[in-house]
């Protein structure tokens, strides 16, 4: 166990941040899964905007790297765009 005041404080801070990060990562997983499981285009688009918002907030708060968030947003966008099917000429 830690013996210094600063070490004890660090343990408290780490515990608090860990629970916060775990909550936020769970939120991200649920949002991404909601987009991936949706079949209808309109439903997927609505869920996509929520997921993008959550990913942006996570990147802003440094829960995930901004490039990782960007890659996930791009991947979800491609999935939703594929739901449209082939374009009519």
Q: Is 85 left (phi over 0), alpha (psi -120 to 50) or beta?
A: left
Instruction: Report pTM.
Output: 0.82
Report whether pLDDT(88) > 70. no
Q: Look at residue 43 in the predicted model and tell me its pLDDT.
A: 92
Report whether pLDDT(27) > 70. yes
Match 């829960």 to its residue by tokens. 63
**Can you say whether the dihedral through the CA atoms of 68, 70, 87, 85 is positive or negative?**
positive
53 burial type by CB count under 10 A (0-12 exposed, 13-18 middle, 19+ buried):
exposed
Q: What is the pLDDT averaged over residues 39-68?
A: 95
Under the banding of pLDDT at 50, 70 and 90, the label for residue 10 is very high
């Amino acid at each position: 166990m830690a013996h210094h005041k600063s070490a004890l404080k660090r343990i408290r801070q780490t515990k608090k941040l860990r629970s916060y990060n775990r909550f936020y990562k769970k939120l991200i997983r649920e949002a991404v899964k909601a987009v991936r499981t949706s079949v209808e285009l309109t439903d997927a688009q609505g869920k996509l905007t929520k997921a993008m918002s959550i990913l942006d907030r996570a990147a802003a708060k440094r829960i995930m790297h901004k490039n990782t968030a960007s890659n996930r947003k791009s991947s979800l966008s491609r999935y939703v765009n594929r739901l449209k099917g082939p374009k009519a000429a």
